[in-house]
Structure 1
Amino acid sequence: MLIGPSSNNTYDQDMGMKEMRSKIIYSTAVLLAMIMGLGSRVFGKHLPPFAASHLGDVLWACMIYFACRVLLTRQPLSQSLLLSLCFCFGIEFSQLYQGEWINGLRATRVGGLILGKGFLWIDLLRYTVGIVFSYALDRFCRPKKSS
């Protein structure tokens, strides 16, 4: 019987530390996207018109992708790509429903930021751009596996 940490236990600890580091990095990306997205809404009049029109939704989608990565750190990046696209598209298509109860939620600041107000086809393109950009950035910044 071995006394002390086994090599498998050390491997588990290393994986736990890597996962925790990844969660911290992705959480920071969520926070950064959130701050930049809210900033694009608050300071939109100081941005070029094209950026003021599109940047907030692109950054919202970036935030959703990185939030998926926080939750799915051990899963492939492609799973977060798909899940975040489905989530964003689902939120957008939910705006076709205009029930009194959900419009009451949408009338609040937080509800409006999360659920949006009305369906726009262009938002689907904005979300796709934000998620694909985040996915590409994630792939580019990942440490290369050594063989």
Structure 2
Amino acid sequence: MISNNESHHQLRRTYFIGVIITVLLGLASRKFGYLLFSFLAENAGDVLWAMIVYFGFRFLFLKKSMLTAIFLSILLSFGIEFSQLYQEDWINQIRGTLLGALILGKGFLLVDLIRYTTGIVIASSLDRLIIQKKQKNK
């Protein structure tokens, strides 16, 4: 029988792997976007970014509910998107770097809010499936 501590460790590892796989998919969607259908290439990066945020919150706050992770993911994603309305030299210099652009984006787009919400819904749905499968296997 698996102890509660071992179960938490396995779940945390699952979320970490989710982050890593999603990061790799996101980078691949940027590098090889020309191989994807245009709709997918245009939207995948932001959807995957929001999934990374969700899995990251689940990893960090393992004992909190899925709703907490969903709320925090929406708050962070939307917060960063709305922060793009702020255009000053110092923050635009950060956004001009690869890492800054990947994390902070460059300019506000309303459609990004839809993409982020879609990513969070997909990630939380996958999360629910993983949890249900693990509970059935106990």
Q: What range describes the TM-score normalised by the shorter chain of this pair?
A: over 0.9
Aligned to 1:9: none
Equivalent in the alignment of 1:91? 80
Counterparts of residues 16-27 of structure 1 (less than 5 Å) = 16-27=5-16
Which has the greater radius of gyration? 1
SS of residue matched to 1:74: coil
Deviations 1:85-139 (A, max 9, x none): 1100001000000011100100000000000000000000000000011111111
TM-score (normalizing by structure 2): 0.93
Distance 1:122 1:38 in 2: 20
Q: Does 1:81 align with 2:60?
A: no
Structure 1 vs Structure 2 CA RMSD:
1.4
1:4-23 aligned within 5 A: 14-23=3-12
Identity of aligned residues (%): 44
Alignment of 1:60-79 (within 5 A): 60-79=49-68
The C-alpha deviation readout for 1:30-72, integer Å capped at 9, x for no partner, is 0000000010000011111000100111001001000000001
The residue type paired with residue 144 of structure 1 is Q
SS at match of 2:135: coil
Match 1:58 to one of 47, 62, 68:
47
Match of 2:97 among 79, 85, 108: 108
In the TM superposition, residue 145 of structure 1 has moved relative to its aligned partner by 6.9
Q: Report what 1:131 is aligned to.
A: 120
Task: State the alpha-carbon separation in 2 of the partners of residues 144 and 21 from structure 1.
Answer: 13
Q: In structure 2, what is the Cα distance between the partners aligned to 1:84 and 1:58?
A: 12
**Counterpart of 1:144?**
135
What is the count of residue pairs matched by the alignment?
134
Distance 2:54 2:22 in 1: 10
Which structure 1 residue ranges, 5 or more long, are not aligned?
Answer: 1-12
What are structure 2's unaligned runs of at least 5 residues? none
TM-score, length basis structure 1: 0.88
Q: Flag as ranges the 4+ runs of structure 1 deviating above 2 A.
A: 143-146
Aligned residue type for 1:129: T
